[in-house]
Amino acid sequence: MKRTALSRAEARGLEETYTDRFELGLQRVGEVLNPLDGKVYSLSQSSSPRYYHKEADVADRMKSLGVFERDILGEMPRNRLGILRIRKSGFFSSKVTRLVIVAATCSPLEEFILEGSSSRRLDLAEMNRVVDEVVKQEDIFYFIGVLSTTGWSDDCKGRLPQGPNYLLAAVENIGGSRWQVDKTPDRRWGRVFSAFDAETRPEKLARCQAYFAENTDLALKGGHVVLEVASEVLGVPDDIFRRAVDEAARRDPDLAVMEVSGKKILKRARI
């Protein structure tokens, strides 16, 4: 499916939403197991992430392309970084960094500068560039979620790099409040990957509510949806999904949850 082109301002808006909600995502994670030393680190005892806005780099790229308009610079995404360093005191030393969790963003800057919009999905080369920029020490473990404002190529999502001291997730907005986080199936992730999902719990609930309220099958007398299928489509935590189902049945007396042929469905009464 062809992706709709994003404007500079739209890309910057996605970038800002992703990095602004990074700290909220970290609060959901709570604690992290460091795969290198086997110890659990509490994020509640860590300082807040630091954010790096690369306006100077974007300005340099514009100059190299012969573009000097400040209005364009003001609209441009910044290829931001949000970095949380988790430090712990050594036996004889001051605090040293043990873990790093990074929310990175990237965009096809040249197209945004010259054309004002882009739909080009970024590829593995861009993901590797982020690794080179972020992963600096072998004795630190890095969890990295990288947003492409214009999405990732299927090849990139299918071949995400990983190393002995880092894991990568490919993040993209797939419409409205919904974000997709693709990662390698690696146990070392634990719950950390959820920090890169910028959709809040209220937004997830609202999306589920809209799904049931607007479902054309449920609008028909005797119509139904299979709840297992709906859950897969919506991709939200089980507790949020159950709440949305319960609320849909409570608000509409003609809807009820029942089991048919071993499958739970939400069904509208025939009469």
Ordered alpha helix ranges (H), 53-106: 55-64, 70-75
Q: What's the pLDDT band for 189 if we cut at 50, 70, 90?
A: very high
Mean pLDDT of 101-115: 96
pLDDT at site 2: 59
pLDDT at site 23: 87
Q: Are 168 and 160 in contact (CB under 8 A)?
A: yes
Distance (Å, whole) CA 152 – CA 159: 11
Q: Are 107 and 15 in contact (CB under 8 A)?
A: yes
Instruction: Give percent of the chain above pLDDT 90.
Output: 83
pLDDT digits 0-9 by tens, 194-238 = 999 999 999 999 999 999 999 999 999 999 999 999 999 999 999
- Structural domains present in the chain: 6-199 (no CATH), 203-268 (1.10.10)
How much is the pTM?
0.87
Distance (Å, whole) CA 220 – CA 200: 31
Q: What's the pLDDT band for 90 if we cut at 50, 70, 90?
A: low
Average pLDDT value for the chain = 92
Q: Are 188 and 167 in contact (CB under 8 A)?
A: yes
Mean pLDDT of 234-248: 95
Q: Are 141 and 34 in contact (CB under 8 A)?
A: yes
Beta bridge partners of 97: 87
Which tokens is 163 given?
Answer: 């190393």
pLDDT digits 0-9 by tens, 158-174 = 999 999 999 999 999 99
Q: What's the pLDDT band for 91 if we cut at 50, 70, 90?
A: low
Residue 189, classed as helix, strand or coil, is helix
